Amino acid sequence: MIDFALTDRDRELQERTRAFIRDSIIPREKDPRQSPHGPSDELRRELNALARQAGLLSPQCGPEWGGMGLTHRERAIVFEEAGYSLLGPMAMHCMAPDEGNMHMLEAVATEAHNHRWLKPLANGDIRSCFAMTEPSPGAGSDPSAMNTTAVQDGDHFVINGTKWLITGAEGAGVMIIMARTLIDGADKGATMFMADLPNKAIITERILDTIDESMAGGHAVIRFDNLRVHKDDVMGEVGRGFRYAQVRLAPARLTHCMRWLGAARRAHDIAVEYANRRKAFGKTLIEHEGVGFQLADNLIDLHLARLAIWHCAWVLDQGRDARFESSASKVAVSEALFRVADRCVQVLGGLGVTGDTPVERIFREIRAFRIYDGPSEVHRWSLARGLASRH
């Protein structure tokens, strides 16, 4: 049976993270070094330094690499609190794509690779990016459609192709590249390659304008022009890239849920405060059932989302295959949190569509969550295939 009660350690982590976000991060939310393509690297480094001083940097990474070494359950508590500010996950260096990349490196990469890349990444000295998604007709929701190729040439692989929606590529220090691997003309499947940035053979064609703006470096279109990667910089084994991607994606879907739960809770708290002081037709908004019931529904969605997250975290902490739980949680939580954010905009009325509160931006950011790391439709399709295979 899963025990959802908070331990003394859980409460200490929760309170320490909550105080850090309240006292050190929320006051910096209006810092001008933020753009539609994410916070500047200067701002990121300053916030990372604050988290380091508070003992809250890289909670997902092992202490030997500079992190806190938290369990998935403990991450659920800490990431929710970090997400209460849209700057919080970046400050604590547990934002995508770095958080998922650190997890995968720690699980898959060699010790030499981890000294070279994971340690500076966990310490906040560099950022990272993960290059898998391609524009049509390449790999998107269907990774088997991958068009980017890596052709063996002696001790090197030569990579050519185009990727897009590559989060954080601009300004990153290392890129993990997924490419279809050809050896002596034979297709060996997808392989992950590591490459230092900047590199003249990795060309940023443009930074996309997107609905979200909380991820440092934005989302780039990248072209590989005869990029040469030494065979020693293959992550893991040739041809096992999709298997390693699952190592990354199952926990990463869940940690997105954790962070955005915090953001949705922030929007809800703002809406509740507003509904208790704003008056219309002779009484406060919350006394009108049309408003009060929306906020009650928020409480239900937030509660059920947290239960789904904690259950999936428990499965991961047991060392069990969590593909079903992570897909189900991704759909349920992303859609529930969007409903919460949408109701908050509605409760705030005109105020909700302005930048005078974070609610408008939280609404936009959470909308994107229903697409990345697998849109709801793909997860439902995957879950349905599992049902079909049982008969």
* Residue 39 token pair: 């916070």
CATH of 8-122, one of 3.40.50.720, 1.10.760.10, 1.10.540.10, 3.40.50.300: 1.10.540.10
Cis bond before residue 137 (omega within 30° of 0): yes
Q: What is the mean pLDDT of residues 195-223?
A: 97
Mean predicted lDDT score pLDDT of the chain = 96
Give the DSSP letter of residue 361.
H
Lowest model confidence (mean pLDDT) among 75-89, 299-313, 314-328, 348-362? 314-328
Q: How confident is the model at residue 80 (pLDDT cuts 50, 70, 90)?
A: very high
Q: Does the pLDDT value for residue 346 go beyond 90?
A: yes
Q: Does the pLDDT value for residue 381 go beyond 80?
A: yes
> Measured between alpha carbons, how far is 253 from 247 in angstroms, rounded to an integer?
11
In the block, which residue shows the tokens 């560099």?
126
Burial group, residue 40, by CB count within 10 angstroms (0-12, 13-18, 19+): middle
* Residue 125 token pair: 């000295």
Question: In the chain, where are the structural domains located?
Answer: 8-122, 128-239, 242-388
CB 34, CB 213: distance < 8 Å? yes
Q: How confident is the model at residue 390 (pLDDT cuts 50, 70, 90)?
A: low
Express as a percent the part of the chain with pLDDT over 70.
99
Q: What own/partner pairs with CB < 8 Å and gap ≥ 24 does 202-208 have?
A: 202/175, 202/227, 204/169, 204/170, 205/162, 207/37, 207/170, 208/164, 208/165
> Measured between alpha carbons, how far is 286 from 133 in angstroms, rounded to an integer?
44
Give the DSSP letter of residue 23.
I
Q: Does the pLDDT value for residue 144 go beyond 90?
A: no
Q: How confident is the model at residue 1 (pLDDT cuts 50, 70, 90)?
A: low
Instruction: Please state the pTM of the whole predicted model.
Output: 0.95
The type of residue at 16 is R
Q: Does the pLDDT value for residue 3 go beyond 80?
A: no
Pick from 126, 9, 23: nearest CA to 78: 9
Q: Would you state the pLDDT for residue 246?
A: 87
Phi-psi region at 38: left, alpha or beta (left = phi > 0; alpha = psi -120 to 50): left
The type of residue at 161 is G
Q: Which residues pair with 204 in a beta bridge?
A: 222
* CATH code for residues 242-388: 1.20.140.10
Q: What is the pLDDT of residues 17-53, one digit of tens each?
A: 999 999 999 999 999 999 999 999 999 999 999 999 9
> Measured between alpha carbons, how far is 137 from 146 in angstroms, rounded to an integer?
8
**CA 166, chain centre distance (Å):** 13
Q: How confident is the model at residue 247 (pLDDT cuts 50, 70, 90)?
A: confident
CATH of 128-239, one of 2.30.29.30, 2.40.110.10, 2.60.40.350, 3.40.50.1220: 2.40.110.10
